[in-house]
Amino acid sequence: MNALKEIFPHANTVVCIEESKLLKQFEYGILYNAKGLPETLDELNNINYFHTYMNAGIDNYSVMLDGLMKDTFDLMRAIVPDETIWRIFALYYDIHNMKLVAKENPIGGRLNELALDYGSYSMRTIRSAAVRESDNILNNETLTRGFFEALRTGEMYDIDFILDKTYFKTLKGMAEKLGKPQITQFVTERIDLFNFSAYFQSLAASAKGYFSRAFSDQGSCTLEEWQSYIEEDPAAIREFPLWQKYQLIWENSESRRQIFYEFDVHVDNYLIKKTIECKLIAFGILPICAYFYNKFMEIKNIRILLRGKERNYSTDEIRKRMRIPYEL
């Protein structure tokens, strides 16, 4: 009986069908070899990538990618067996929009044109949530507490730091709510790698206190554990167990600047590889989450590819920015 609880006939079937449509490496190869933006769009239109009767052109491809993002979120919300899954994916965009609202008072104007509509709260709801903390309009105490901390700060940069921390704390709580250790571990690794990104940025910026302000305490190690390796002797970081765990991600970079430039791509590739084992799982929440994670990565890839073609980047330059496909 417990095994049957891990089977979601509709959701698992839909995901199985949709996963088979994800772009494969050879299809990316065809897109790389297309001579320019119009020819690349022709290739995508020929396989009906945008799932619409309209063809994508040089003047509307960005809007159509936005529509594909929205359609993917709509599909997710319609089929997932637990709303928490949808909220986990929407949370990134909720935090983005909360940052905008928190910055509106300091700059003295609305930032609607920068808002993204993939979140679980509308901009109107977020603005209403900014009126009184006790109302908890977001129905999430962690989000509400972090939001008001950001609203009260007097520093624009602190808004980003505070809400990034709020994002990871909320994300970790949502992952734990799903009750899947694999998902909680995945989120923890994502946070560890965010902290490494903050560490490398602190080296590049040479700004005292940057790392502690950016650091998320939802990873594997406390701030004190990190500081015991990074504050006295810069070379001591190589003895840090987390460095040893993840160093393969960046060890082939030729310089600190290259690490910084390529880090997000390497991290995404690492996390995609972590999800590939879900291709061997037929039922349950894990293959559902893995599919949507990789569908959004694919849309990100196509956006990078098309912008690169539009700006006449070389194929090698475009490839450096692309994430690996979700395939065995």
Average pLDDT, the chain: 92
Distance, in Å, from the CA atom of 264 to the CA atom of 201, rounded to the nearest integer, reads 12
> In this structure, what are the phi and psi dihedrals at residue 283, rounded to the nearest 5 degrees?
-130, 165
Domain regions of the chain by residue span: 82-177
Nearby residues of 83 by Cβ (< 8 Å), 6 or more positions away: 77
Please answer whether residues 195 and 219 qualify as being in contact, where contact means their C-beta atoms are separated by less than 8 angstroms.
yes
Tell me the two tokens of residue 323: 């994430």
Q: In the predicted model, is pLDDT for residue 258 greater than 70? A: no
Is 188 buried (19+), middle (13-18) or exposed (0-12) by CB count in 10 A? Answer: middle
Model pLDDT, residue 252: 67
pLDDT digits (tens, 9 = 90+) for 111-138: 989 999 999 999 999 999 999 999 999 9
> What's the full length of the chain, in residues?
328
Model pLDDT, residue 232: 75
pLDDT digits (tens, 9 = 90+) for 43-53: 999 999 998 88
Supply the CATH classification number for the domain 82-177.
1.20.1690.10
Distance, in Å, from the CA atom of 39 to the CA atom of 62, rounded to the nearest integer, reads 16
pTM score, whole prediction: 0.93
Q: In the predicted model, is pLDDT for residue 1 greater than 50? A: no
Model confidence at 256, in pLDDT bands (50, 70, 90)?
low
pLDDT digits (tens, 9 = 90+) for 66-125: 999 999 999 999 999 999 999 999 999 999 999 999 999 888 889 989 999 999 999 999
Residue with tokens 């569908």: 295
Q: In the predicted model, is pLDDT for residue 246 greater than 60? A: yes
pLDDT digits (tens, 9 = 90+) for 18-55: 999 999 999 999 999 999 999 999 999 999 999 888 89
Nearest by Cα to 306 from 92, 24, 60:
60
Please answer whether residues 41 and 61 qualify as being in contact, where contact means their C-beta atoms are separated by less than 8 angstroms.
yes
